[in-house]
A and B are shown apart, each in its own frame.
Chain A
Amino acid sequence: EPEVTQTPSHQVTQMGQEVILRCVPISNHLYFYWYRQILGQKVEFLVSFYNNEISEKSEIFDDQFSVERPDGSNFTLKIRSTKLEDSAMYFCASSEGNLAPSYNEQFFGPGTRLTVL
């Protein structure tokens, strides 16, 4: 069964450093997403991406964050200058593009645990 994969599984970085989290969505999917979950808290939506542009973003997704689809398979989340409060599990998700967005389910990856020291 096809699945979303994410690398690395755990990333440790120093405050102020840039990090790039990588995701490989399911191959025929057209919509891509990033969510995050701070330990013990809710899953929070960050951004959705379609046709090489951001289609929706939350207020968490400020200028420190960016997303990119650098090639036909990868989808990345970059945090330019990490803060302590960016420590969280980051989940990538993807969904098909053939139906209305409110109908399509999203398939989530296993997550990348980001620890900012």
Chain B
Amino acid sequence: DAKTTQPNSMESNEEEPVHLPCNHSTISGTDYIHWYRQLPSQGPEYVIHGLTSNVNNRMASLAIAEDRKSSTLILHRATLRDAAVYYCILRASGTYKYIFGTGTRLKVLA
């Protein structure tokens, strides 16, 4: 399984944009990039995913580098509720499982 590298922690001020980076230099052509987050004492929650093109949904945007070796999750206006551990996960074609790393712990300051 291809690995991802994320910073251990990041801080953001409330109502400011947050850019959470992820490096995945060994990604293969059929790996999807998925982002999940885990709020305190809860199960992981789906955020967004993509393959090659940038993606937007109501929660966030996903910017994927042209060579696909890195991606960035963008929260446009961080709220206190966005404080969580954010996981960048590569999922190989045909596999069902997620391999979670340690993620980035996002702290949002009021």
Contacts and interface: CB of A to CB of B under 8 A. Distances in A.
Contacts of A48: 96-97
Contacts of B31: 102
A100 B97 contact: no
A102 B97 contact: no
A93 B100 CA distance: 14
Contact of B43 (A31, A56, A101, A108): A108
A45 interface: yes
B42 A31 contact: no
A105 B49 contact: yes
Contacts of B95: 56, 101-102
A43 B38 contact: yes
Nearest to A46: B97
Given A43-B38, A103-B32, A33 B96 contact: yes
A65 interface: no
Nearest to B90: A102
Nearest to A45: B97
Interface string B82-99: 000001000111111111
Given A105-B34, A105-B49, A110 B42 contact: yes
A56 B49 CA distance: 22
Interface in A92-110: 93, 100-103, 105-110
Given A33-B96, A55-B96, A102-B30, A42 B102 contact: yes
A91 B34 contact: no
Contacts of B21: none
A58 interface: yes
A102 B100 CA distance: 15
Given A42-B101, A102-B30, A110-B43, 16 more contacts: A43-B87, A43-B98, A43-B100, A45-B98, A48-B97, A56-B97, A91-B43, A93-B43, A100-B93, A101-B91, A102-B31, A102-B94, A105-B49, A106-B44, A109-B43, A111-B42
Interface of B: 30-32, 34, 38, 42-46, 49, 87, 91-102
